Structure 1
Amino acid sequence: MKQLYISFILLSLSFSNSYAYQNKTTKAVDKIVVTKKTQPTKTPIKISNAIIANFVNKYPNLKTYRSDLNNLYLKRNYKSIWFGGKGLIEFANLLYAKTNELEQEGLQSKFAYKNKINSIFTEKTTKNLASVDTELLLSAMYLFYAQKVYKGIESDKIKEIGWLIPQKNLSYATLLSYLLVDPKALDKNDTAQFNQYYKLREVLKKYRKIEQNGGWNKIVRDTLVFELKPGDSSQTIGQIRQRLATTGDLHSDSKSNRYDQELIDGVINFKKRNGYNEDPVITFSQISRMNIPIENYIKTIMVNMERCRWIDPEMTKAAQYIIVNIPSYKLFFVRNGKTELESNVFVGGTMNETVIFSGNINYMVFSPYWNIPTSIVQSEIKTALEQNKNYLVENEMESIKGRVRQKPGPKNPLGKVKFIFPNSNDIYLHGSPSKSLFQSEYRAYSHGCINVNKSEELAYLILKDNTEWPVERIKSAMEGGKEITCMLKEKLPVHMGYFTAWVSDSGEISFFNDIYERDDRLAEILFSEDYN
């Protein structure tokens, strides 16, 4: 009797744990509880290219997956993926739950035959699907999920909107094999997804929660006051305090209308996150930024999650690399996973947009000449010469075989060093003598190249372990009046990226101005009916 009682208790606990796990897996799946148990098939399911062809003819909205379905089953010797000895494998339930939670992945898409898929997992159906249909519908659902979450929009559209960084080479068959072995990777998979994606996903949850709680109230500006400073008191300050507490720039809202030290810290943090100079003065434009509706921020996060889908996670696993984020006007030099240098930069203006692409720095040039582009000679220098015949001499320029160049020196706009990575757009990194301009909040006025504030420090870091280029030699080469080339022993990857939202390692999100107005163009594709 005692053994029977113990068996009953263990059976009850087993049922309880099983239900809890199942409920956790499916609680957000359109309120559908996965209760149906598909019975094991009496005979093995046979899949072939002909069966797949018949299947996509029966379900025409899945024709785009035909080739991928063929490849998926070819890699698995045309054996069933989703059926085991006791019916559907548990991974099918997990995938179904995740597919119904695509909103958490920053997507608005729905599988074409969602009702059919629902019928596989619920008892709310009067007609059972054939085993082959169930098998192939689940495979199509997997391809739908993998394409939306891990790959993103079509490659040709990515190139059309000006993103030329090499895209990840994703094998759906290889990814599926990995997920079947490690189902937890369905939630987070750093081998298939750029890690920034998951950081943005966490912040998306936070901002959606803020939206569900009513967002934030509009800050009403006092039209007679042009800026707010520490010590000021007004209802506007109280509203700013409430806004910053909502987004976490302040730990709490004290309800005070006085601009005190606590609010100063919150304002500085807000400015740091949003690309402003870190001073305590609050301007009208900054209040307008705070008044942007929460749904706009959510859309920005979703758009940047999409950009992350295109990036090969191997890109950031190189021993060292440089990345420039154009909207933040920042350059980062990373070695062994650690950022060793962060520098302000200038980028191309709206008429000379810096191209989004990847390259490899082959060599550096110390004390460089500036070979002035013909367009600048025609539009600027020619006019200057008409007004002043000594313009070239006064600006340390010279004409060589019909080309104009500026000599190395303090007036040279390339500064003391330039970093060359051959590309068809003739873009490179270089220094600048105009150091004060790097403190400006708006820094998009180059002709397309990247002007680096800490260019000298970058050169020292790149050559840190190069015994042929000790510090003294580098300094001498920078200060000389003669152009000197330094070939790198190993190519240094450099990536020009475009992210208007970025999450730090501490989980804090920054938003940057969409200087080239690319977010709306991408959102138009991402949220269109054709894509979803």
Structure 2
Amino acid sequence: MKIWCSFIAFVFLFLAVSCKGDKKEENQKKEKAVVPELRLTIDTTAIASFYETYPKLKNFEEQVKSLYKKKNATQLWLDNKGVVEFGNTLFNKYKGLENEGLKANFPYKEINAVFEGNADNKLSKVNTDLMITNLYFYYAEKVYRGFDEKTSISLEWLLPRKKLNYQVFSDSIFEKSTINDDKKSKMFSQYYKLRDALKRYREIEKNGGWKTIEIDDAYKSLKLGDSSPIVSQIRERLFITQDIKEDNKSAVCDSTLIKGLKSYELHHGFAPKNTILPEHITDLNIPVSDRIKTIIVNMERCRWIDPKLEKGQQYIEVNIPEFKLYLIRDRQIAFTSPVVVGKAMTKTVIFSGTMSNIVFSPYWNVPPSIIAKEIKPGMAKNKNYLAQKNLEWNNGAVRQLPGKNNSLGLVKFLFPNSSNIYLHDTPSKSLFERESRAFSHGCVRVAKPRELAIEILKEDPKWTEARIDKAMHAGKESWYTIKKKFPVYIGYFTAWVDREGNLNFYKDIYQRDESLLKLLTEE
């Protein structure tokens, strides 16, 4: 009987506890149910009021209005618990702008309180949502667009600018709730390659960079077999940037070091040699901090390039500081040639055009400036000056007759433009042997013009190599209209990652990096 009573008591106790637990769970459900869904109204009036208070963000006003209208004038970043996860992702991306070569300097510090200490956030919920939206557009503009077109034109960058469609961009972002770029399709592909290089060079900087290689005024060169304390310094320096795979600390200039130096030369605008010269040491001593600045400047230039450019079936690109021309077909390099570009006083323009004509055995129409500065003074001293230079008067102007000594050589490639820039042959072949090749009056001289003509006319069976040779040496000007037009892009990049993944640095021959860097660091 006692056992039975104990059992009954246990059952009642269990039921009491169980009921109490069920009631507690039910109360929790009720508590959750009574919390209403956060629903803010963010209309044009609220938006206008926001920009009166925060005028430094006003350039985003139209995009912000459009976005909230599309989202039915409700909040984008807040729910009952506070900022949604996607909002925190955005803020973390903003705080990591250094990874994009940029400074995280949103104009209002209130944004930090929103994410880093909600208790300190004095913004209303409406203004909190609007502030995060403005951060979103700020981030998009900084990373995906860069400086506006007016600024890039002031820096003499006349290549077509990428258009950032904020609405399409916003749709993509909010559908996926992420701003990661795993597909790497939003930007010119070179941007991502330089971003990886920036990460690597910042790691080198974090580890102390590289030491200055000490040489005295008496230093001339080092060659294979030479022994010197300088050798071990060079070896250490090349190891840091992986131009050599190991540092054996040897002070003897061996084949491994020479091979490593040639790799360095190849990717820093030098013609490979078998000796280590003072100019190599000077270049090796450029601090890692300066190399990082160069990478950052060129990442900004990449922001201006439309990624659609490199999806073209075929086009020609010239990189001025590299002194090189590439013909790209089906995304592969089909042809390359050294080039000569404009002098500092007669810079080659950064722009694009469409190649429409090839002119064989061309006349050279002498620019008025050269007539005034060179030809007229020459004629005053020598009455046979025109004949000796193979020149003639032509309707009040001067032109040079076709032939092997013509300043344009045997062929020129035209892509009409207001700057009168074109590609052409030249009789001055020795200039292509120089490391620095800024000698022209602005046009681009091609080291391999015959091969370029063959490559351009490859898809036209009528233009055999024999016919091209005959036209080039005819001594009589003839024009050919290209059936399949070639886009031509003339750019300016002092840092570039090639298709093998090697980071290349080129000399800033027109001193353009510093002015752009100044704008980036002032931001």
Residues 75, 456 of structure 1: CA spacing in aligned structure 2 closer, same or farther, 3 A cutoff? farther
Does structure 1 residue 524 correspond to structure 2 residue 518?
A: yes
Please report the TM-score for the alignment, with normalisation by the length of structure 1: 0.88
Shift of 1:73: 2.2
SS of the residue corresponding to residue 436 of structure 1 reads helix
**Partner residue in 2 for 1:487:** 481
**Partner residue in 2 for 1:47:** 42
**Partner residue in 2 for 1:191:** 185
**Partner residue in 2 for 1:56:** 51
Cα contact 1:188–1:198 (8 A) shared by 2: no
| Match among 268, 273, 281 for residue 275 of structure 2 | 281
Cα contact 2:96–2:104 (8 A) shared by 1: no
Q: Aligned equivalents of 1:407 and 1:211: distance in 2?
A: 57
Does structure 1 residue 241 correspond to structure 2 residue 243?
A: no
**Partner residue in 1 for 2:85:** 90
Give the 5 Å matches for 1:203-282.
203-282=197-276
SS of the residue corresponding to residue 513 of structure 1 reads coil
Cα contact 1:41–1:131 (8 A) shared by 2: no
| Match among 386, 391, 394 for residue 392 of structure 1 | 386
**Partner residue in 1 for 2:27:** none
Give the 5 Å matches for 1:77-156.
77-83=72-78, 88-114=83-109, 116-123=110-117, 125-127=119-121, 129-156=123-150
Q: Which segments of 5 or more consecutive residues in structure 1 lack a partner in the other structure?
A: 1-38
Residues 87, 470 of structure 1: CA spacing in aligned structure 2 closer, same or farther, 3 A cutoff? farther
Alpha-carbon RMSD across the aligned residues, in angstroms, is 2.0
Q: Aligned equivalents of 1:79 and 1:488: distance in 2?
A: 55
Q: Which amino acid letter does the alignment assign opposite residue 499 of structure 2? A: D
**Partner residue in 2 for 1:407:** 401
Moved more, 373-382 or 307-316: 373-382
Residues 352, 458 of structure 1: CA spacing in aligned structure 2 closer, same or farther, 3 A cutoff? same
SS of the residue corresponding to residue 351 of structure 1 reads helix
Q: Which amino acid letter does the alignment assign opposite residue 453 of structure 2? A: A
Q: Which amino acid letter does the alignment assign opposite residue 93 of structure 1? A: N
Aligned residues between the structures:
490
Shift of 1:88: 4.3
Please report the TM-score for the alignment, with normalisation by the length of structure 2: 0.89
Residues 244, 137 of structure 1: CA spacing in aligned structure 2 closer, same or farther, 3 A cutoff? same
Q: Aligned equivalents of 1:293 and 1:43: distance in 2?
A: 53
Residues 483, 75 of structure 1: CA spacing in aligned structure 2 closer, same or farther, 3 A cutoff? farther
**Partner residue in 1 for 2:310:** 316
Q: Which has the larger radius of gyration?
A: 2
Q: Aligned equivalents of 2:182 and 2:325: distance in 1?
A: 28
Q: Which segments of 5 or more consecutive residues in structure 2 lack a partner in the other structure?
A: 1-33
Q: Which amino acid letter does the alignment assign opposite residue 203 of structure 2? A: K
Shift of 1:129: 4.4
Q: Aligned equivalents of 2:471 and 2:98: distance in 1?
A: 55
**Partner residue in 2 for 1:20:** none
Q: Which amino acid letter does the alignment assign opposite residue 463 of structure 2? A: W
Q: Aligned equivalents of 1:184 and 1:256: distance in 2?
A: 51
Among all aligned residue pairs of Structure 1 and Structure 2, give the percentage whose two residues are the same amino acid.
Answer: 45
Cα contact 2:86–2:178 (8 A) shared by 1: no
Residues 92, 393 of structure 1: CA spacing in aligned structure 2 closer, same or farther, 3 A cutoff? same
Moved more, 408-417 or 130-139: 130-139
**Partner residue in 2 for 1:416:** 410
Moved more, 402-411 or 158-167: 402-411
Cα contact 1:346–1:451 (8 A) shared by 2: yes
Deviations along 1:432-452, one digit per CA (max 9) or x if unpaired, are 122221010111010000001
**Partner residue in 1 for 2:345:** 351
Shift of 1:478: 1.3
